Structure 1
Amino acid sequence: MSVVAGRLWDMASVTTEHYAWIRSSPVFRSAISGGYGLTLVQGVSPGGVLRAMGAEPQGTCTGVDALIERHADLRGATDYWPNRERIVRAAIRLADEDGLEAVSLRKVAAALGVGPMRLYGYIAGKEELLDLMVDAVHAEIRPVGDGWREVLRSLAETTRQAAHEHEWLADLLGGRPQLGPHALARGEAVVAALDGVDVDAIMPVVTAVDAYVIGAVRREIAERRAERATGMDERRWQASLGPYLERTFATGRFPALATVVRDAAHLDADHTFRIGLDFLLDGIEAGISR
């Protein structure tokens, strides 16, 4: 018998086959690659092995088979042990549900059912985690089309769609270029579509489209958040300001604005985005055709 943390483990039931399985399991290999350096010899408690691999015994049980049954079916359970992909997926789920303020290594570790220190073998800190989250979402941004105009339109639309599905993305876009594998694949697709355009114009063109999309989605996400905070959608908000605007425009100080507000079509966000993008692409076409 072996005593571990006040519990008795029946070592008689730990066979050579059990140890062979533990050594060959994905969980054990993850422990080795994570720098835990486990050495299994006959007489080592299975409870100690599982603790080293992140499991905590529940109650009194006998032998490795009982431990496996109690601990999320560890036999072949490749999803049990955290890895970088699982960490990033968990962080994205938290951010999708409650925003970036819900993302911390402690909260991600809790969502994965492990201790926070376990994550530092894969993630250096929160800044790296945020970068990995952004790059993971870039996998959803795959511009396609025939010719540069269609590809740039696809770039804008898929980026906007990704930001709508992951609101927090709008807060992290912009700034220094993303250099993760998915972001680079997205960049490669866009730049390849601009083959034939003067090389000095390529990055200004892509930057212009990115800037338009980032500005548009940040405004749209801000409107979503304001609607949730106030319980008032955009139309109701505009209606509430109607009397104030009528009084202000009646002074005659803002005639151009008064005409637009009263007479122009009130477009929804989708239509507004498409029209603005068309204006931008028309300008790009005129510029690169000179």
Structure 2
Amino acid sequence: MPEQGAAVRRAPLNRERVLRTAVALADATGIDALSMRRLAQELGVVPMALYKHVANKDELLDGMVDAVVGEIDPPVAGAGWRDAVRRRVLSAREALLRHPWAPRVIESRPGPTPAVLGYLDSMVALFRAGGLSADLTHHVMHAMGSRLLGFSQELFDASPGPGADPAPDPAALRALADAYPHLAEIAGAAAHDDGSVVGAGCDDRFEFEFALDLLLDGFEQLHHRGWTSADRPAGRAT
């Protein structure tokens, strides 16, 4: 075993190996535990060696996002636009389930990374190849939002903060239900599959597919109607 470990440490250091190791480390320990020093230890190098391949922590995170996006399946040849889009979006979601830290990091980036831009460009191509106009596709991309990358942005982050008690206080829950009865009613109206949740909140597989299919059905109807943005009611803001 020591000889095997030494062989791993002697493997040439390159950007791909740095990113692959960073992704695996984040999977194992969480994104908050990832640091350049911890990554260097994992690779068996001094921290300064990393900076030949990633300029800083931000560039490392960008590269990790691109590595995850690179796991998304390519479009299925011969599939209709709706099926092709649906399959790729669900493939993106499977990638995020393998890397639970990824949605948070994607949201934290100041702009889309090269791989994200390439993926979004390919999704536009699927809509356009399906006959949707550039006008409709513009609005489709906005409506899909983060769902294109396999997760839904919740209204707010419901996850407990650092040091918070994971077990909710029953009295506090009752007080919230009394103050906001309608929210309490719908909160208890559905059961979620915790094993398929991506990120924080209620974004489980069923919830995600429900919204995805609802959107795709709507886009298909608009496409068949020949909808354009000029069809919006007069006086409505753009």
TM range (shorter): 0.5 to 0.7
Matching residue of 1:139:
70
SS at match of 1:121: coil
Q: 1:95 aligns with which of 20, 26, 31?
A: 26
Matching residue of 2:11:
80
SS at match of 1:173: helix
Q: How does 1:121-270 map to 2 (within 5 A)?
A: 121-145=52-76, 146-174=79-107, 176-180=111-115, 183=116, 185-194=118-127, 195=129, 196-212=131-147, 216-219=151-154, 230-232=165-167, 243-244=174-175, 247-248=178-179, 260=186, 265-268=189-192, 269-270=204-205
The alignment status of 1:284 with 2:215, answered yes or no, reads: no
Q: Is the 8 A contact 2:54 2:60 kept in 1?
A: yes
Q: Do the aligned partners of residues 238 and 186 (structure 1) sit closer, same or farther apart at CA in structure 2, a change above 3 Å counting? A: farther
TM-score, normalised via structure 1 length: 0.57
What is the number of residues matched between the two proteins? 206
Q: Is the 8 A contact 1:205 1:284 kept in 2?
A: yes
Ranges in structure 1 where 5+ consecutive residues have no aligned partner: 1-68
Deviation at 1:152, TM superposition (A): 2.2
Measure the CA separation in 2 of the matches of 1:247 and 1:218.
27
Question: Which stretch of structure 1 is more off in the superposition, 194-203 or 79-88?
Answer: 194-203
Q: Aligned AA for 1:134?
A: V
Measure the CA separation in 1 of the matches of 2:29 and 2:72.
23
SS at match of 1:177: coil
Measure the CA separation in 1 of the matches of 2:46 and 2:87.
41
Q: Please tell me whether Structure 1 or Structure 2 has the larger radius of gyration of its CA atoms.
A: 1
Measure the CA separation in 2 of the matches of 1:143 and 1:86.
23
SS at match of 1:191: helix
Question: Which stretch of structure 1 is more off in the superposition, 126-135 or 100-109?
Answer: 100-109
Q: Is the 8 A contact 1:209 1:280 kept in 2?
A: yes
Measure the CA separation in 1 of the matches of 2:152 and 2:142.
15
The answer to which structure, 1 or 2, has the higher relative contact order (CA under 8 A, 6+ apart) is 2
Measure the CA separation in 2 of the matches of 1:276 and 1:128.
33
- RMSD after superposition: 3.7
Q: Is the 8 A contact 1:105 1:116 kept in 2?
A: yes
Q: How does 1:31-46 map to 2 (within 5 A)?
A: none
